[in-house]
Amino acid sequence: MSNRPLVTRYEGNPILTKHDVPYPVETVHNAGATKFEGRYILLFRSHLQNGRSIIGIARSDDGYNFHVDSKPFMVPPTEGVFSRFEEYGVEDPRICSIDGVYYITYSAYSRFGVRIGLAKTIDFKTVERISLISEPDMRNVVIFPETFNGRYARLDRPHSEINPWAIWLSWSSDLVHWGESEPVINPVTYHWDQMKIGPGATPIRTSDGWLNIFHGVFPTMDGSVYRLGVALHDIANPATVLGVADDWILSPEDSWELTGYVHNVVFSCGAVAEDDGTLKIYWGAADTVMCVGTARIADLVRLCRDKPRTAL
């Protein structure tokens, strides 16, 4: 493998900041990404000045130059069951397209903890909440964009004191009720992801397996460092992990990744695969701005296969 970086940062980064948003927000980060009717869509998280988060929407023709809609896409409702569990805000959406429906999984924060909400849209104009699909403490849920023998699969990130913040996989026949959960990737001790890992982008189908771009965290004397890593899952049964790359693929480096609302963070909730075998990976930098970079899918697959570490 050559010395060139696996992820080539776009020279126009950051691609979105709070100054691009036509309503008052303090940050623009951790965006889910997809393509809809030939255009790129980002559903991004923004902190309000009360420290709680909402979700905005930005659209682009080329995946680099985005325009933000005049109104937010999702804010916590004031009535109904969702108002109770989104009281502290909505965060870090992921978008998964299945049969023309775009499902959105997001973190719902409230006095009861953080759990996962499921919503859907077919036009990116209106959004309908479907259900809360986990108990606390759960964040970073990504749904695979295909069914497996008629069942849906998702990557989960529960927390337990004994096995902190690992990546699990669960199954469902209706997207609402999930079970048969099992751990699939653990953090590794004294490794760049030793403190915690979590699913990032919605998995990308490749000819070699599902590409899973996840985040990993390492604690230092100067706070935690968030980086991105990559793993490969079996196409027919994503609970089988074919390889987890030993090396990270992206680490905070640019000034807006090193400093901001939270220092030393690159955090992805979405990537878009292109027809030429490349991937546009979107990431939040320092919980403050949005960035994009490109990678060759074959390079990421090779890293999982040729330089793996233990999965569990």
Q: Residues 125, 142: contact at Cβ < 8 Å?
A: no
Cβ 310 to ligand BMA, closest distance in Å?
24
Q: Which residues here bind ligand BMA, judged by CB under 6 A?
A: 30, 91-92, 226, 262, 265, 267, 284, 287
**Cβ-proximal residue to ligand BMA, closest one:** 262
CA 203 to CA 186: how far, in whole Å? 18
Cβ 56 to ligand BMA, closest distance in Å?
15
CA 40 to CA 280: how far, in whole Å? 10
Cβ 284 to ligand BMA, closest distance in Å?
6
Quickly count: other Cβ atoms within 10 Å of residue 5's Cβ: 14
**Nearer residue to ligand BMA within complex by CB, 92 or 193:** 92
Residue burial 31-55, b: 16+ Cβ < 10 Å; e: rest: bbbbbeeeebbbbbbbbbeeebbbb
Cβ 6 to ligand BMA, closest distance in Å?
21
Q: Residues 213, 200: contact at Cβ < 8 Å?
A: yes
**Nearer residue to ligand BMA within complex by CB, 239 or 265:** 265
**Nearer residue to ligand BMA within complex by CB, 68 or 290:** 290
Cβ 107 to ligand BMA, closest distance in Å?
7
CA 97 to CA 95: how far, in whole Å? 7
CA 241 to CA 237: how far, in whole Å? 9
**Nearer residue to ligand BMA within complex by CB, 91 or 208:** 91
**Nearer residue to ligand BMA within complex by CB, 129 or 215:** 215
CA 244 to CA 262: how far, in whole Å? 27
